[in-house]
Amino acid sequence: MIREMKKDAGQITLPFVLLIGGIIVEIALAGVFVSYLRSISNLGERLSVKAGEAAYSGIQDAMVRIAQNKELGNSSYELMVGEDKTEVTITKTDNPADGAYAYVIDSLGISGSRRKKLQGVLIVDKITGRAKLDSTKEVKVSN
């Protein structure tokens, strides 16, 4: 007994396979999209941290320069920290009553599209040259 195939047998198979295939492709595309968004946000966080580290390096470099020359005047310079750039501005104020110099160090760290600015205040004794970091704070970056 051989069964004969009906002419319309299997007609539902093609739409069913296309439906299941479409669902699988849609899930895969959604996974790729979510993965892409997560990697972009992680990149932004990494760049922000690197910019902060570059800004802190600028403050440290300025402290070394001031420690080497306690009479250092107002100055601005750029510093490369790996692939990142730091713009450092040193402003000196004289306080005769305390017998010390106060240096305000502004350091802008730039990494990719992220920018972080730190400001430190360094107090240097006029006679001994002893330097003490009084404060460090993050400052809003103006465009």
Long-range CB contact pairs, 71-74, < 8 A, 24+: 72/103
Rounded-to-integer distance, Cα 104 and Cα 87, Å: 14
At residue 39 the predicted structure's pLDDT band, cuts being 50, 70 and 90, is: confident
Tens digits of residue pLDDT in 120-140: 999 988 888 888 888 899 999
What global pTM score does this model have?
0.70
pLDDT, tens digit, for every residue of 85-105?
999 999 998 776 778 889 999
**Residues with Cβ < 8 Å from 6, sequence gap 6 or more?**
none
Ranges of each domain in the chain: 13-139
Summarised one tens digit per residue, pLDDT across range 49-78 is 999 999 999 999 999 998 888 788 889 999
In the block, residue with structure tokens 């390096």 = 57
- The beta strands (E) that lie in 20-113 are given as 75-81, 84-95, 100-111
Looking at the domain covering 13-139, what would its CATH class be? alpha beta
